[in-house]
Amino acid sequence: MSKIKILIIHNDSIVSQDIKRSLHSAGYSITSTVSTGKEALKKMAENKPDLVFLDMDLKSKQDGIETVRQTRDRYHIPIIYVSTCSNEKLREEIKKTESFSCIKMPIDEKELRYNIEAILHQYAQEKRLKQALGESEQRYRQLIDCMNEGIIVHDENGIITCVNRKFLEMSGYTHYEVLGHLSAELLNEANIEIFEKQRTSPEKGIPDTCEIEWQRKDGQKILLRCTSALIHDDEGCFKGRITVLTDLTERRQVEKKLERSREELRNLSLHLHSVREKESKRISREIHDELGQALTALKMELSWLAHKLPDSPEGQERFHERIKSMSRLIDDTIRDVQRIASELRPGILDDLGLVPAIEWQAQDFQNRTKIECETDLDSNGLDLEPEFSTAIFRIFQGALTNVARHAEATKVKISLKKMNGNLEMLISDNGKGIMDSDIISPASLGLMVMRERLRPFDGILRLHGIPNRGTTLAVTLPIDKCQAKKDQWS
């Protein structure tokens, strides 16, 4: 076997020689024999022994515990203590500093071998453990430095003990400027209170999340989401917390821009609906008033002509036939004008209100499609804004159009009621039932238009279909959003 090199430190030369003979007899190699700690440290640097035999009863502190510490810290050499007396106080003090092995004089060769093998084995394990721990810490450091979130570790007093590279990039500080400092030094009063609320009792042990405004070194403010988890030791005592910081600044700016864009689109959509309704109303009136009056006047002229008959019977018959044909054409044209005008903007909606308009539309739908319509309408005492009445009526029209095109239904139930501070409209058919995929499909433009019509009034549209049992469309709007504003002087 390879010889283990041993350094002997003892202030009694006779004991030293005795130890040396015992070690030689056991097959070990002796590098040096010295009597003081100063000499020992010098020999350690020169010979690099594998093991040190140290007199536990050295008189000088430098030659005692201090030598032990330097041997461990500087040269990382295991020590076996040799005792010729029972110095229990010193023995206990040394035990607190390291793993402990001690032999008493006179030396028993069997005990000697056992102690040497045990201390070297223990030391090798400690060395491997320290190396593994060092590698683990290195991997931990690399891991947190590679994270795309900032990491801060605090002790139980809130002092920063560790940060990663991402946090330094986010904050603009260096390790030296943050380690050993309180996080509160980087926050204003309002955010300090929010941040400190995360320092909950150790018993809670539940990660907590909040949003705070952090002050960078250059004065720029950044918005962070902080998620903290408490740290406990093996006995469950609170030892600090680790906080993960996610930079929300850019995301929040994008969200604000997106929300502003959505608001602009909503306003534009509302404006376009309003412009379209006004234009439809104008065209409807012009068609009804101008073209309708012209057709009516034309029919009156035909009636007058009917009295100016030719003298001959044959001429009178042909003249009558032509007048009747022209009159029928005029009647058909008048009906078409009335239909077009109603589709553009039903006058009944402006003149009589929402409920009569729905009743008229349901009856017209039933006459045209032969699909039975059952209505249950009750909005008595509710004075609605014109924009709201228009939105509800257009949604109702769109729903009936979808029933006629897709539902394959024979009956539709329509209800409009006030319930719990809301106005609710239900339209149910007994058709084949809409598919869930159609409800959420981006291609369902009609449903998108309905939702956009409700958005200015904080309305909700729900659609539910059951295969072969029909579809129900439900619209709910808060009454205070749709009632007409009363004159403050009334």
The maximal CA–CA distance of the chain, rounded, in angstroms, is: 168
CB 382 within 8 A of CB 423: yes
What is the C-alpha separation between 241 and 365, in angstroms, rounded? 68
pLDDT category of residue 414 using cuts at 50, 70 and 90:
very high
How many C-beta neighbours within 10 Å does residue 1 have?
A: 4
What is the CA 382 to chain-centroid distance, rounded?
Answer: 42
Q: Is the pLDDT of residue 428 over 90?
A: yes
pLDDT category of residue 253 using cuts at 50, 70 and 90:
confident
Q: Is the pLDDT of residue 204 over 80?
A: no
CB 429 within 8 A of CB 366: no
**Consecutive H or E run containing 475:** strand 470-478
* Mean pLDDT in residue range 343-365: 81
What is the C-alpha separation between 486 and 66, in angstroms, rounded? 93
Name residue, tokens 């035999």. 53
Residues 184-203 pLDDT 10s: 777 766 666 666 665 544 44
Phi, psi (5° rounding) for residue 65?
-60, -40
The neighbouring-strand residues paired with 98 are none
Q: What is the pLDDT of the chain when averaged over all its residues? A: 78
Cis status, amide bond into 202, omega within 30 of 0: no
**What is the model's pLDDT at position 202?**
43
